[in-house]
C-alpha cells in the first residue's frame, strides 16, 4: 500500500457577515462581534422579524470590486465564491498554468436560485434579465469560477445541503491522495435567498431573535451567507513551490443518519459515525482533539443529536474538549458552512485560540454539556469540525498543525 | 492510483421501456413533443405507499432503478450511495418558488422545500435501504454522473471490500422548461423521438428525464455485467480528439482495440459536428452508436449510455436502431463512450467486458 | 361535529398525499402519529399549515401540535374551540 500523502492547506479565502476576508473574520471572532441583524439586502417580507448574517456588500459592489463585465450574469453565490477563491489563490501564490494538475471542487445549495426566484415571472414577460437563465443550476458557479481562475484539469460541484463544502474539502483530499490531482481548490458558497429564508421558516426552525447554539432554550437558526475556499496541495508540491503550509487536513468522514428526510436521530448516529471515521483517518483518539467547531445550528433537533453524539464519543461532559458553534456569528451559511468553519478551525490552529459560542446561558438539560463561551487561549494541535445536512448527510473534518 | 470497478447490476428508467425485463431497444417508442417525460414503472412494486407519497419523481425513479440493479446483482444491502443530478429535484423547487411568490408571509407548505434539496434522491435511497455509509451527490451540469462515477471508483479503491450504488437522475420541470426554451436550448423544428440525427439537422435538444443506477464493487463476479476501467471529464476543450487520444494513451488502450464507440450526439446541429468529425477521423473504422436520439437529452443521460454498453456486452449485439454507421463489430469486449453537451462538459468512459 | 371530522379526513388525505386512503378508512380515534397512521414531523408541519389556511388557527410552536394532532377527533375538538 502506498504511503498516505499529507494534505497541506496552503491558502484560504473567506467572506461572510463578519468580514470580507480571512483577517476580518478572525478579528470579529476574537472580539465577539457577530454579524447577525435585520435583513437589509434581500427583499423579503420577513426582513424585520427574521435576523440573518448578510455579507456587507451589494452585488453591484462585488461586480465592481471584482472587475467583472456588467453584461455577464453572475449570481450572488458566484460573486461571493469568486471573491473568496481569489483570496485563497493569492494567499497560496498559485499560478494555475505552472503544470501542476489543479482541480476546483465547489459546493452550493442555492446555486442561481436567488436570480431564478427574482425573475421567475420576469423571464417570461421580457428579455431584459434572460442572461441569468443559465445561472440557475448548481454546477454553473463552478464553471464560471474555473473560467475566471484558469482552472481546467478538473471541475465539479457537490450539493448535499449543509454538509456540502465539508464534502468538497474531503473529495479534494481524497483526489490528491488517489494521485488524480496535485492540488485542489475546495470550498463552497451560498447567498441568502427568499427560497431558503422561507424554507427554514416553513419548517418552524428559524428563530426570531439571535440563535442560541447548545442552549436549553434554543428555538432555531439564523441563516447567513458566505463563501470560503481552501487550497489543498500534496505536501511535496507545497515543498517544491517553497510554500509553507498553514495547516493539514488530517481526517475526514461522511456517514448517513438514515433516520428521516430532515430530522437527525436523537442519538446522532450519523454524526457519531462521521466523527469516528474522521478520527480513524487521522489516526487520532477523541482525546487528541483540542477544539471542536460544532455544527451547532441552534435548532432543537440538531444540537440535541450532535450533543448526544459528542457524549457518546467522549463518555461524559467533563471529558469533552472545548467546543463551540460559530453560527451565532455568521448565521448558518448552508453549503458554505463546512468551508467557512474550516477557515475558522484553521484560524484556531494558527492563533491557538478557541472561539466563543455566543448567546449561551443554560445547558441542554438532558446533556449538561457546556460550550466555550469566551475566547480562550489554548494549545491546539487538532481541530474537529462538524457539518450535518438534510438527507442525513453527516460530515466531519479534522485539521491539524502538523501531520504525523 | 484508482482501480477499475465491476458492475453487477443495473436499472434504467427513461422515455423508452428500459425498465421492462427483456427490453433491449429492439423497438423505440415514438414521440412528437418536447420535452418528453420518462415512462413510469409501477413504483408500488418497490416502494410502500406511505413512503411513496413523500417522493417526487426523482426520488421514485432513483429508488426503482436502484432496486432493479440490486435485484439483478442479487443483493439487498449496500455500503454507500453516490449519485449525480444536473438539476436536482426540479418540480419541488418550482413549487416552492411559486408558493413563496404567491404567499410569502402566510404559512407555506414545507414539503416542497424539503424535497427540493438536491441530495434527496440519495437520501431516499439511504433511508429506504437503511444505509448509513458514504452518501454523496454531485450537481455538476452535464458531468454530474461522471463525477459520481469517479468518486465511486476512488471510494472503492479506498474500500475494496465494499459494494456501492452509483447512479444518475434528472427530472423535468414545467417552468424551467420554459426558461430553457427562452435560452434557446430546446428543439422546435420537428421535435420527434427517435430523432433523425443528420437529416433535417436543426438547433436544439429534445429534453427528457430518467434515472439509471448500478451496483459496483472491486470484485469481479461470475455474473458481472462488465467493468468500468476509467472516466475523465473536461469542462472545455478546443480539441476533443486530443482529449480522447490522451485519455486512451494514459489508459494504455490503442484505438484499434476498441470494438465500438457510443457517441452523445443529440440532434443539436450547433454542437453535433464534433461527433461527425470524430466519426470521420479517429473513430472511422469503428461501429458508432448513438443513444440520445432514442432517450433524449438531460444532464445525467450518459448513465443510460453505460447501461446500454453493458447491455451490448450481455447480448453481444448492437441494436440496429442505435447504430449510426454500417460497421459491424468483430467482437464486443471494449467500448468507449464520448459525450458533451452544448459544446462543454466533455466526458470519456472506457468500459470492458 | 361529524361534518367537521369528515371534512378534516378529506383534508388530511389530500394535504398529506395519502392517495391510497379514503375518508372511510380513517377512524375518528385512530392515532395519527406513531403506531396508528404512522405520520411524522413533516406531516405535523403540514397539518399546522392546514390549520392556519383552512381554519385561521395559528400554532406558533410545533410542540403544541403533538396534543392537537393525536387523532381526527382531537383535531376537530381543537378547531371547534379555537376557530375564528
CA distance linking residue A174 with residue A164, whole number of Å: 15
User: Is the predicted pLDDT of residue A244 greater than 70, yes or no?
Assistant: yes
The per-residue b/e assignment along A269-296, b for 16 or more CB within 10 angstroms, e otherwise, is bbbbbbbbbbbebbebebeebbbbbbbb
What integer pLDDT is reported at residue B222 of this predicted model? 87
What's the confidence (pLDDT) of residue A261?
86
CATH 3.40.47.10 fits A7-240, yes or no: yes
Residues 334-363 of A with CB under 8 A from B: none
Residue B138 forms contact with A (CB below 8 Å): yes
Closest CA relative to residue B116, chosen from A142, A165, A109: A109
With beta carbons less than 8 A apart as the criterion, state whether B56 and B43 touch. no
The per-residue pLDDT for A1 is: 44
Task: Give chain A positions within 8 Å (CB) of C53.
Answer: none
Report the phi/psi class of residue A111: left, alpha or beta, with left for phi > 0 and alpha for psi in -120 to 50. left
Residue A212: per-residue pLDDT:
98
Mean of the per-residue pLDDT values of chain A: 97
User: What is the distance, to the nearest Å, from the Cα of residue B307 to the centroid of all Cα atoms in its chain?
Assistant: 8
- DSSP 3-state of A216: coil
- All structural domains of chain B, each given as residue ranges with its CATH number in brackets, are 5-352 (3.40.47.10)
Q: Given an 8 Å threshold on Cβ–Cβ distance, is A178 in contact with B135? A: no
CA C58 to CA B80: how far, in whole Å?
Answer: 42
Alpha helices in A259-324 (DSSP H): 269-282, 300-314
**CA-wise closest residue to B231 among B218, B240, B214, B244:** B244
Q: What span, in angstroms and rounded, lies between the C-alpha atoms of B61 and B135?
A: 18
Element (H or E) spanning C44, and its range? helix C41-55
Closest residue of B to C46, CA-based?
B109
If one counts every other C-beta atom within 10 angstroms of the C-beta of residue C15, the result is 17
Q: Is A198 on the interface with C (CB under 8 A)?
A: no
Point out the residue among C18, C45, C48 whose CB comes nearest to the CB of B53: C18
Q: Does B21 touch chain C (CB under 8 A)?
A: no
Give the pLDDT confidence of A307-349 residue by residue, as tens digits: 999 999 999 999 999 999 999 999 999 999 999 999 999 999 9
Q: CB C42 to CB B50 under 8 A?
A: no
CB contact under 8 A, C17 and B53: yes
Strand B334-341 versus strand B260-263 pairing type: parallel
**Rounded CA gap, A175 and A113, in Å?**
29
User: Nearest Cβ partner of C19 from B53, B107, B110?
Assistant: B53
Per the CB < 8 A criterion, the answer to whether A250 and A238 are in contact is: no
> Closest Cα to residue A401, out of A236, A284, A275, A226?
A284
From the list B53, B107, B114, the residue facing C53 with the nearest CB is B107
Nearest residue to B97 via CA among C52, A50, A116, A206: A116
Taking the CA atoms of residue B268, residue B271, residue B277 and residue B282 in that order, the dihedral angle to the nearest 10 degrees is: -100
> Cα–Cα distance between A103 and A96 in angstroms, integer?
10
By Cβ distance, the residue of C40, C45, C62 closest to A260 is C40
**What is the Cα–Cα distance from B210 to B62, expressed in whole angstroms?**
8
* DSSP state, residue B205: B
Which pLDDT belongs to residue C1? 52
C42 and A202: CB-CB below 8 Å? Answer: no
Q: According to the model, what pLDDT value does residue A101 have?
A: 97
SS3 of residue C8 by DSSP: helix
Smallest CA-to-CA distance from B283 within B237, B233, B252, B244 is with B244
Beta bridge partners of B223: none
Confidence of residue C84 (pLDDT cuts 50, 70, 90): low
DSSP string, B266-324: -SBTTTTHHHHHHHHTTTTTS-EEE-HHHH-B-TTTHHHHHHHHHHHHHHT---GGGB-
Residues in C closer than 8 angstroms to A261, CB to CB, are: 42
Q: Which of B227, B300, B263 is nearest to B61 (CA)?
A: B300
pLDDT per position as a tens digit, B133-187: 999 999 999 999 999 999 999 999 999 999 999 999 999 999 999 999 999 999 9
CATH of domain A251-400: 3.40.47.10
Distance from CA of B285 to the nearest CA of C (A): 55
DSSP one-letter string for B66-112: HHHHHHHHT-S--SEEEEE-SS-SHHHHHHHHHHHHHHBTB---SHH
Q: Which of C26, C45, C48 to mutate to test the interface with B (most CBs of B within 10 A)?
A: C45
Do A391 and A372 form a contact (C-beta atoms < 8 A)? no
Integer distance in angstroms from the first to the last C-alpha of chain A? 17
CB A370 within 8 A of CB A294: no
- Residue numbers of A annotated as active site: 162, 295, 332
Question: Looking at beta carbons, which residues of chain B come within 8 Å of A203?
Answer: 110, 113-114
Which residues from C are below 8 Å from A when comparing CB atoms? 40-42, 45, 48-49, 61-62
Give every CB contact of residue B349 below 8 A, 6+ residues apart in sequence.
B146, B149, B228, B230, B231, B302, B305, B306, B336, B337
How large a percentage of chain B has pLDDT more than 90? 92
> How far away is chain A from the Cα of C79, in angstroms, using its nearest Cα?
21
Least Cα separation, residue A356 to chain B (angstroms) = 31
Strands (E), A57-179: 102-107, 154-158
Q: List the single best residue of A201, A204, A217, A301 to mutate versus C (max C Cβ within 10 A).
A: A204
Yes or no, beta carbons of A273 and B98 under 8 Å apart: no
Beta-carbon separation of A261 and C48 below 8 A:
no
Per-residue pLDDT tens listing for chain B (353 residues)? 899 999 999 999 999 999 999 999 999 999 999 999 999 999 999 999 888 988 999 999 999 999 999 999 999 999 999 999 999 999 999 999 999 999 998 899 999 999 999 999 999 999 999 999 999 999 999 999 999 999 999 999 999 999 999 999 999 999 999 999 999 999 998 899 999 888 878 999 999 999 999 999 999 988 999 999 999 999 999 999 999 999 999 999 999 999 999 999 999 999 999 999 999 999 999 999 999 999 999 999 999 999 999 999 999 999 999 999 988 787 899 999 999 999 999 999 999 99
Check residue C37 and give its pLDDT: 85
Q: What is the mean pLDDT of residues A1-16?
A: 89
Name residues whose C-beta falls within 8 Å of residue B323's C-beta, 6 or more positions apart in sequence: B287, B288, B289
Residues A5-11, mean pLDDT to the nearest whole number: 97
Q: Note whether B93 and A113 are within 8 A (CB).
A: yes
Check which CATH number belongs to the domain holding C74 and give it: 1.10.1200.10
Whole-model pTM above 0.80? yes
Q: What is the mean pLDDT of chain B?
A: 96
- C49 with B107: Cβ contact below 8 A: yes
Band of pLDDT at residue C71, cut at 50, 70 and 90: very high
Which among A398, A403, A404 is positioned nearest to A382, based on CA atoms?
A398
Q: Do C45 and A263 touch (CB under 8 A)?
A: no
Residue A2 confidence (pLDDT) = 56
Chain C residues whose CB is inside 8 A of the B54 CB are 17, 42
Q: Map out the domains of chain A as residue ranges.
A: 7-240, 251-400
Distance set, CA A295 to CA A307, A342, B123, B324 (Å): 10, 11, 19, 53
What would the pLDDT profile of A40-94 be if each residue is shown by its tens digit?
Answer: 999 999 988 999 999 999 999 999 999 999 999 999 999 999 999 999 999 999 9
Distance CA B324, CA B177 (A): 29
Cα-Cα-Cα-Cα torsion C42, C48, C50, C54, nearest 10 degrees, comes to: 180
CA–CA gap between residue B155 and residue B228 (Å, rounded): 14
**Mutation test of the interface with chain A: which of C45, C49, C58, C59, choosing the one with the most A Cβ atoms within 10 A?**
C45
pLDDT for B190: 87
Grid coordinates given for A119: 425573475
State how far the Cα of A320 lies from the Cα of C57, in Å rounded to an integer. Answer: 44
Domain span at residue C73 reads 2-82
In chain C, what residues touch B106 (CB-CB under 8 Å)? 52-53
Interchain contact A262–C (C-beta under 8 A) = yes
Note the pLDDT tens digit of each residue in B182-237.
999 999 988 999 998 888 789 999 999 999 999 999 999 889 999 999 999 999 99
- Tell me, yes or no, if A140 comes closer than 8 A to chain B by beta carbon: yes
Q: With an 8 Å Cβ cutoff, is B56 touching chain A?
A: no
> How confident is the model over C20-64, as pLDDT tens digits?
889 888 999 999 998 888 899 999 999 999 999 999 999 988 888
Q: What percent of chain A stands above pLDDT 90?
A: 96
Q: Which of A120, A256, A261 sits opposite B133 (nearest CB)?
A: A256
Which of A159, A254, A273 lies nearest to residue B118, judging by beta carbons? A159
Residue in B100, B115, B182 closest to A130 by CB: B182
Q: What is the C-alpha separation between C66 and C43, in angstroms, rounded?
A: 11
Task: Supply the pLDDT for residue C19.
Answer: 83
Domain count for chain C: 1
Distance, CA of C69 to CA of C47 (rounded, Å)? 8
pLDDT the model gives residue C12? 94
CB–CB of C19/B50 below 8 Å? no
Q: Does B250 touch chain A (CB under 8 A)?
A: no
**Would the CB atoms of B111 and C46 count as touching at under 8 Å?**
yes
In this predicted model, what pLDDT tens digit does every residue of A195-237 receive, in sequence order?
999 999 999 999 999 999 999 999 999 999 999 999 999 999 9
Closest CA to B121 of B154, B77, B166: B166
Amino acid at each position: 500500500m502506498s504511503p498516505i500523502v499529507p494534505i497541506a492547506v496552503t491558502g484560504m479565502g473567506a467572506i461572510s457577515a463578519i468580514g470580507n476576508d480571512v483577517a476580518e473574520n478572525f478579528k470579529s471572532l476574537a472580539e465577539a462581534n457577530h454579524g447577525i441583524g435585520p435583513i437589509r439586502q434581500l427583499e423579503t417580507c420577513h426582513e424585520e422579524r427574521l435576523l440573518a448574517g448578510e455579507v456587507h456588500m451589494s452585488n453591484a459592489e462585488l461586480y465592481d470590486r471584482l472587475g467583472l463585465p456588467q453584461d455577464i450574469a453572475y449570481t450572488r453565490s458566484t460573486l461571493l465564491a469568486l471573491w473568496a477563491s481569489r483570496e485563497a489563490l493569492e494567499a497560496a501564490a498559485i499560478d494555475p498554468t505552472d503544470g501542476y494538475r489543479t482541480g476546483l471542487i465547489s459546493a452550493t445549495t442555492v446555486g442561481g436560485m436567488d436570480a431564478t426566484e427574482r425573475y421567475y415571472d420576469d423571464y417570461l414577460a421580457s428579455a431584459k434579465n434572460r442572461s441569468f437563465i443559465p445561472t440557475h443550476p448548481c454546477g454553473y458557479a463552478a464553471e464560471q469560477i474555473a473560467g475566471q481562475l484558469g482552472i481546467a484539469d478538473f471541475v465539479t460541484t457537490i450539493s448535499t445541503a449543509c454538509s456540502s463544502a465539508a464534502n468538497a474539502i474531503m473529495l479534494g483530499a481524497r483526489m490528491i491522495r488517489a494521485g488524480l490531482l496535485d492540488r485542489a481548490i475546495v470550498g463552497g458558497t451560498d447567498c441568502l435567498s427568499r427560497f431558503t429564508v422561507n424554507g427554514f421558516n416553513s419548517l418552524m426552525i428559524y428563530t426570531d431573535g439571535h440563535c442560541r447554539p447548545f442552549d436549553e432554550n434554543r428555538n432555531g437558526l439564523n441563516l447567513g451567507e458566505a463563501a470560503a475556499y481552501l487550497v489543498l496541495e500534496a505536501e511535496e508540491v507545497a515543498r517544491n513551490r517553497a510554500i509553507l503550509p498553514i495547516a493539514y487536513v488530517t481526517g475526514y468522514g461522511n456517514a448517513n443518519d438514515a433516520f428521516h428526510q430532515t430530522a437527525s436521530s436523537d442519538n446522532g448516529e450519523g454524526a457519531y459515525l462521521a466523527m469516528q471515521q474522521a478520527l480513524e483517518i487521522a489516526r487520532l483518539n477523541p482525546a487528541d482533539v483540542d477544539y471542536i467547531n460544532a455544527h451547532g445550528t441552534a435548532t432543537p433537533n440538531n444540537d440535541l443529536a450532535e450533543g448526544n453524539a459528542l457524549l457518546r464519543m467522549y463518555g461524559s461532559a467533563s471529558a469533552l474538549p472545548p467546543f463551540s458553534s460559530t453560527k451565532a456569528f455568521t448565521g448558518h451559511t448552508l453549503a458554505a458552512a463546512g468551508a467557512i468553519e474550516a477557515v475558522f478551525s484553521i484560524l484556531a490552529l494558527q492563533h491557538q485560540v478557541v472561539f466563543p459560542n455566543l448567546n449561551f446561558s443554560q445547558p441542554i438539560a438532558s446533556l449538561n454539556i457546556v460550550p466555550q463561551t469566551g475566547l480562550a487561549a489554548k494549545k491546539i494541535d487538532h481541530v474537529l469540525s462538524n457539518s450535518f445536512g438534510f438527507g442525513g448527510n453527516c460530515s466531519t473534518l479534522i485539521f491539524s498543525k502538523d501531520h504525523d | 492510483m484508482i482501480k477499475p470497478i465491476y458492475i453487477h447490476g443495473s436499472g434504467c428508467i427513461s422515455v423508452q421501456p428500459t425498465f421492462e425485463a427483456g427490453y433491449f431497444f429492439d423497438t423505440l417508442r415514438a414521440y412528437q413533443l418536447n420535452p418528453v417525460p420518462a415512462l413510469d414503472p409501477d413504483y408500488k412494486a418497490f416502494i410502500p405507499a406511505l413512503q411513496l407519497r413523500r417522493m417526487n419523481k426523482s426520488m421514485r425513479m432513483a429508488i426503482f432503478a436502484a432496486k432493479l440493479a440490486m435485484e439483478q446483482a442479487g443483493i439487498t444491502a449496500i455500503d454507500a450511495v453516490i449519485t449525480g443530478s444536473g438539476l436536482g429535484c426540479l418540480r419541488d423547487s418550482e413549487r416552492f418558488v411559486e408558493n413563496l411568490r404567491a404567499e410569502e408571509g402566510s404559512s407555506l407548505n414545507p414539503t416542497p422545500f424539503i424535497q427540493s434539496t438536491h441530495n434527496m434522491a440519495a437520501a431516499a435511497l439511504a433511508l429506504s435501504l437503511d444505509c448509513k455509509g458514504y452518501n454523496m451527490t454531485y450537481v455538476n451540469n452535464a458531468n454530474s454522473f461522471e463525477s459520481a462515477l469517479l468518486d465511486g471508483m476512488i471510494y472503492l479503491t479506498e474500500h475494496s471490500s465494499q459494494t456501492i450504488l452509483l447512479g444518475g437522475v434528472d427530472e423535468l420541470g414545467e417552468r424551467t422548461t420554459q426558461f430553457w426554451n427562452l435560452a434557446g436550448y430546446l428543439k422546435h423544428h420537428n421535435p420527434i423521438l427517435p430523432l433523425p440525427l443528420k437529416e433535417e439537422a436543426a438547433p436544439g435538444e429534445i429534453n427528457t428525464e430518467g434515472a439509471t443506477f448500478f451496483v459496483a464493487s472491486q470484485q469481479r463476479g461470475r455474473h458481472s455485467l462488465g467493468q468500468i476501467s476509467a472516466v475523465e471529464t473536461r469542462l472545455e476543450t478546443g480539441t476533443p480528439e486530443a482529449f480522447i487520444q490522451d485519455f486512451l494513451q494514459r489508459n494504455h488502450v490503442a484505438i484499434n482495440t476498441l470494438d465500438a464507440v457510443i457517441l452523445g450526439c443529440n440532434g443539436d446541429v450547433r454542437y453535433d459536428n464534433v461527433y461527425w468529425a470524430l466519426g470521420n477521423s479517429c473513430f472511422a473504422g469503428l461501429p458508432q452508436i448513438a443513444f440520445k436520439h432514442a432517450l433524449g437529452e438531460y444532464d445525467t443521460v450518459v448513465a443510460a449510455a453505460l447501461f446500454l454498453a453493458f447491455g451490448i456486452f450481455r447480448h453481444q449485439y448492437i441494436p440496429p436502431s442505435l447504430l449510426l454507421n454500417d460497421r459491424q463489430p468483430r467482437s464486443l469486449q471494449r467500448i468507449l463512450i464520448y459525450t458533451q453537451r452544448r459544446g462543454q462538459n466533455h466526458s470519456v468512459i472506457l468500459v470492458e467486458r | 361535529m361529524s361534518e367537521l371530522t369528515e371534512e378534516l379526513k378529506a383534508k388530511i388525505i389530500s394535504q398529506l398525499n395519502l392517495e391510497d386512503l379514503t375518508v372511510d378508512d380513517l377512524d375518528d380515534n385512530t392515532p395519527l402519529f406513531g403506531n396508528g397512521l404512522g405520520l411524522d414531523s413533516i406531516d405535523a408541519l403540514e397539518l399546522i399549515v392546514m390549520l392556519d389556511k383552512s381554519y385561521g388557527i395559528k400554532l406558533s410552536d410545533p410542540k403544541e401540535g403533538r396534543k392537537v394532532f393525536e387523532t381526527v377527533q382531537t383535531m376537530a375538538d381543537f378547531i371547534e374551540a379555537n376557530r375564528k
